[in-house]
Amino acid sequence: MEVQAIRGFNDVLPEEIGRWQFVEKTARKVFEGFGFSEIRIPILERTELFSRGIGEATDIVEKEMYTFTDRSGNSLTLRPEATASMARAYLEHQLYNFDSMAKLYCIGPMFRYERPQKGRYRQFYQVDAEVFGVENPMVDAELIAMLIHFLKSVGLERLELQLNTLGDRACRPKYREGLKKYLEGKVSQLCEDCRRRLESNPLRILDCKVETCKQAIADAPKVTDFICSECQNHFDRVKEYLEAAGLSYVLNPRMVRGLDYYTRTAFEVVSYQLGSQNAVAGGGRYDNLFQEIGGKEIPGIGFAIGMERLISLLPEGGEFVKHPDLFVAALGEASFKEAYRIVNQLHLEGIRAELDYEGKSLKSQMRRADKLKSRYTLILGQEELNRGKALLRNMGTKSQEEIPMGDGFLNQLKDKISTID
């Protein structure tokens, strides 16, 4: 039996990579334009970073982490998300000493032991952006505006921005109690998981997909019935700034997010083109995360975009696949050497050029040039060498022309193949 990849872990093949590179390039361009800098953080962290940062009672920490003990007996975890690691790096390197505000982004794989299905994998990539050090609701709106601008820049349409507030340390416990009290009267309708959540994390019940649980929460109290005036004020201003930026949103009082660190603003971007896993991006404010992981009180807000989901929404088509600019078809020892010299020179100048290494016939080399969708083929048979002229064929229009070999040959060749026709 051939060794195969682990379930839920995907290869990204050369035919798909163009889309990935396009998304990553656009993210860097857009984010850096908004003043963000890239940070690269390790894939492995101490387990306690996530159990403290994300919260012991979350699905991620309870049952989805890839945790193991290393050879020195340390408990380590493959990062299930990037926010806690970015906060750790910010504290560890005292980046706050440089400026009170930090705008950081990172791109890379995350790991969660979830049941794989379309749009849900065990290794998946996120594009993540975070702003540390500012509590002003203007930043919440600006960050969301950047997210929407980015998603539009890669060509996504039919998106919905869903918005909620989750209160803070002062008012959320009151909501939690109110919700718990309400749901205690509905225990018989709750699934097994939610009965457990009733004690550990009643807010998560709002997110349950089980039909009876959905019915149980239909008339449940909303967070907005409980939040304090500071949180209400923050939320109102986020909405105002979003409106001022011309962004529309839908209020979703049931959106709780799957990580415990959120306070106040929470948001998701959903796509109607995706199936059950329809969240392309999610994020929110987390004003207590830094304290949870042992630091001082620093406000923060951020989001993460699921790359696989985003890429599945990009239009189909070959525009992302890279093809050779030139295929040099040669025949005979002398002409092969010449072909080698030309291709080598073009490679040094960053031009995608290919040739045959297997001594195939001119006809089968032409077939390969066709299969590779090369834009041009340069035919360099013995006859062409004898006449001192190479034949350049445009594979799209099928037109051909001769280029005299000798001085200036490479420059002429480059001129011809760089012309967009």
* Contacting residues toward ligand HAM, per CB under 6 A: 81, 83, 112, 114, 119-121, 124, 126, 128, 130, 258-259, 279-284, 302-304, 306, 308-309
Whole-number minimum distance, CB 281 to ligand HAM, in Å? 5
Nearer to ligand HAM, 166 or 330 (CB): 166
51: its two tokens: 């159990």
Nearer to ligand HAM, 83 or 374 (CB): 83
Nearer to ligand HAM, 259 or 353 (CB): 259
Whole-number minimum distance, CB 286 to ligand HAM, in Å? 6
Whole-number minimum distance, CB 352 to ligand HAM, in Å? 32
Instruction: Let me know how long the chain is.
Output: 421
Nearer to ligand HAM, 207 or 384 (CB): 207
Residue with tokens 């990580």: 259
SS (H, E, C) 318-357: HHHCCCCCEEEEECCHHHHHHHHHHHHHHHHCCCCEEECC
Whole-number minimum distance, CB 55 to ligand HAM, in Å? 12
What is the rounded CA–CA span in Å between residue 7 and residue 79? Answer: 18
197: its two tokens: 């959540």
Cβ-defined contacts of 190-196 (< 8 Å, 24+)? 190/216
Task: Output the residue with the shortest Cβ distance to ligand HAM.
Answer: 306
Nearer to ligand HAM, 114 or 325 (CB): 114
Residue closest to 145 by CA, chosen among 259, 29, 31, 26:
31
Alpha helices in 275-327 (DSSP H): 289-292, 307-313
Buried b (16+ CB within 10 A) or exposed e, 129-149: bbbbbbebbebbbbbbbbbbe
SS3 26: helix
Whole-number minimum distance, CB 292 to ligand HAM, in Å? 14
What is the dihedral sign for C-alpha 79, 144, 267, 125?
Answer: negative
Nearer to ligand HAM, 144 or 417 (CB): 144
Residue with tokens 């195969």: 4
* Cβ-contact 281, 268 below 8 angstroms: yes
Whole-number minimum distance, CB 189 to ligand HAM, in Å? 26
Q: In what order do the strands lie in the sheet with 44-46?
A: 44-46, 75-78, 67-69
* Cβ-contact 145, 131 below 8 angstroms: no
User: For residue 390, which phi and psi values (nearest 5 degrees)?
Assistant: -100, 155
Please compute Rg for the chain using Cα positions.
28
Whole-number minimum distance, CB 302 to ligand HAM, in Å? 3
Nearer to ligand HAM, 79 or 186 (CB): 79
Nearer to ligand HAM, 128 or 140 (CB): 128
Whole-number minimum distance, CB 237 to ligand HAM, in Å? 19
Whole-number minimum distance, CB 206 to ligand HAM, in Å? 15
Nearer to ligand HAM, 284 or 324 (CB): 284
Whole-number minimum distance, CB 304 to ligand HAM, in Å? 4
Q: What is the dihedral of CA 403, 407, 412, 414, to 10 degrees?
A: 120
Nearer to ligand HAM, 119 or 332 (CB): 119
Instruction: Describe the crossing of helices 192-200 and 172-184 by its angle, rounded to 10 degrees.
Output: 140
